[in-house]
A and B are shown apart, each in its own frame.
Chain A
Amino acid sequence: MHIPDGFINGATSAGFGVAAAGGVGAALRQTGKYLSERQVPLAGLVAAFVFAAQMVNFPVVSGMSGHLLGGVLAAVLVGPWAGFVVVAVVLLVQGIFFADGGLSALGLNIVNLGFIGAVGGYAIYRALLRALPKNQRGVIVSAGIAAGIAVPLAALGFVIQYAIGGTVDISMGTVLTAMLGTHVLIGIGEGIITAFVIAAVVRSRPDLVYGAPQYTGVRTEVLS
């Protein structure tokens, strides 16, 4: 569920819109070094994959289902900056074509799910991988935990936006508890699913996984 119009006031939404545009611009400069001609169709297909994965529900408990957000998944698979670009494109398409997430809230959503979710989540992934063995298991576990943490972190992004420009008279404490409470649970699902998906890819094609030590493409940063 993306932030709709009207939840955060106009000035804050516009401010985050500018920040998101700047962030995407910076990500493009980062990826420009390797998001070459070859990568444009690829990024499009990865975006289609993330969008499709978000549309397909998986079971949580009997009768209830959830879906993937995919920030860390995209970042580990194609790199943090390309992952950010992919998530931003997914949100743009959802907002403009599918009316999912408000047009005025696009910047808010891109900052939360793209910047915090993908770039922030990837930073957590790298930190975990440094501590864990650099084998397949280490990659899978790090990705799962990072995805699990990134979801409540993105929810925290919303809480900060709400603190700056929320239009609803609900106390910060209540918003924080409600958002974190639900998103810790969502994060558990996200972490498990992300780990399973990464496991499936890293076992068959580890050379495609940007965040895995066996990656054969060009990285924008050095894996320590």
Chain B
Amino acid sequence: MAGGHVHALYRHGESALHGLLPQTKIAAAFLFVFAVVATPREAFWAFGSYAFILIGLAAYAGLGIKFVATRMIVEIPFVIASLAFPFIAGGDKVTVLGIQLSQSGLWDMWNVLAKATLGLLTSIVLAGTTEIPNMLKGLDALRVPRVITAIMGFMIRYLDVVLGEFRRMRVAMRSRGHDPKWLGHARPYAASAGAIFVRSYERGERVYLAMASRGYAGHMPRSTIEPAPATQWLGVLAVPMFAWLIVALAWWSL
């Protein structure tokens, strides 16, 4: 699995995309992804346009090919799974290189891979240009319950700590000759996970006590939510609106 370095998800930059208020970017990303999902599979030009927009944005923000490619690794298991569609789907068969493949299965594979990849690219551009605290502020501005964003904040803050404990525990077990081969050998791993849960829980209590001693009374000080001006909303939402226009055109031209 990919490492858990949350700070590696954001790519520092000075582009206008980095500087936009987070709530507009988050809303635009969700609307854009839904437009991608709603596009008819036959409209190759539409998917081409989406890819052009996303790659353009990624390039403009200076995300870099290596950064984007590394982040796309999460898709690999899914790509492998969807390669099976042409073999197991029903309907008319076509012969490709002497192999019988389902025609609709090939369409399905294309449809799912194109949409999943474009959705993934959207997330990468969003996370790559939005710093974590800003993303949480953006979610606040979009009226996500504060308890949720507060829990998200604590989770992200302590993720590297908890993952580090898992890694250290592993190294300690390995250096004592632990070499798990099958599920029955997983008990030491699970026991260490249990120990890490107890530690995480106690750390949670400690964090609370430390915060209480600094005057925490149940609510984080309201981070000032900067309302996005209407012009910025319009400018940013123009991107998903354009995508929805493509969707309408694609359905109309079918």
Contact = CB atoms under 8 A, between A and B. Distances in A.
Interface of A: 1, 4-7, 9-10, 13-14, 24-25, 28, 35-38, 40-49, 51-53, 55-62, 67-68, 77, 85-86, 88-90, 92-93, 95-100, 102-104, 167-171, 174, 188-189, 192-193, 195-201, 204-205, 208
B135 interface: yes
A106 to B, nearest CB: 9
Contacts of A7: 112, 115-116
Interface in B199-241: 200-201, 203-205, 207-208, 211, 216-219
B209 to A, nearest CB: 9
Contacts of B250: none
A86 B151 contact: yes
Nearest to A56: B166
Given A170-B105, A208-B198, 15 more contacts: A4-B115, A5-B116, A5-B120, A6-B113, A6-B116, A13-B37, A24-B148, A56-B189, A85-B151, A93-B152, A98-B127, A99-B127, A104-B33, A168-B112, A204-B198
A32 to B, nearest CB: 8
A4 B75 contact: yes
A44 B150 contact: yes
Given A35-B147, A45-B201, A6 B36 contact: yes
Nearest to A203: B194
B17 interface: no
23 contacts: A5-B37, A6-B37, A10-B37, A41-B204, A42-B204, A44-B152, A44-B155, A46-B197, A48-B159, A48-B161, A49-B200, A52-B196, A59-B185, A92-B148, A97-B135, A98-B2, A104-B33, A104-B34, A174-B88, A192-B190, A195-B190, A199-B194, A208-B201
Contact of B126 (A51, A77, A88, A96): A96
Contacts of B207: 41, 45
Contact of B158 (A36, A48, A62, A86): A48
A101 B9 CA distance: 15
Contacts of B165: 52
Nearest to B74: A100
| Chain B interface bracket (under 10, 10 to 19, 20 to 34, 35 or more) | 35 or more
Nearest to B145: A28
Given A102-B119, A103-B119, A59 B193 contact: no
B181 interface: yes
A7 B157 CA distance: 32
Which secondary structure dominates where chain A touches chain B?
helix
Nearest to A63: B181
Contacts of B158: 44-45, 48
Contact of A49 (B9, B74, B81, B162): B162
A45 B155 contact: yes
Contact of A169 (B104, B113, B115, B145): B104
Nearest to A90: B155
Contacts of A198: 194
A201 B135 contact: no
Nearest to A58: B186
Contacts of A36: 218
Among A68, A104, A167, residue most surrounded by chain B Cβ atoms (within 10 Å): A104
Contacts of A10: 34, 37-38
A49 B196 contact: yes
B162 to A, nearest CB: 4
Interface in B108-147: 108, 111-116, 118-120, 122-124, 126-127, 132, 135, 145, 147
Contacts of B111: 6, 167-168
B83 to A, nearest CB: 13
B48 to A, nearest CB: 16
Contacts of A97: 6, 9, 127, 132, 135, 156
Contact of B159 (A37, A51, A61, A92): A51
B191 interface: yes
Interface in B149-201: 150-159, 161-163, 165-166, 170, 180-183, 185-187, 189-198, 200-201
Contact of B156 (A58, A93, A205, A208): A93
B119 A41 contact: no
A107 to B, nearest CB: 11
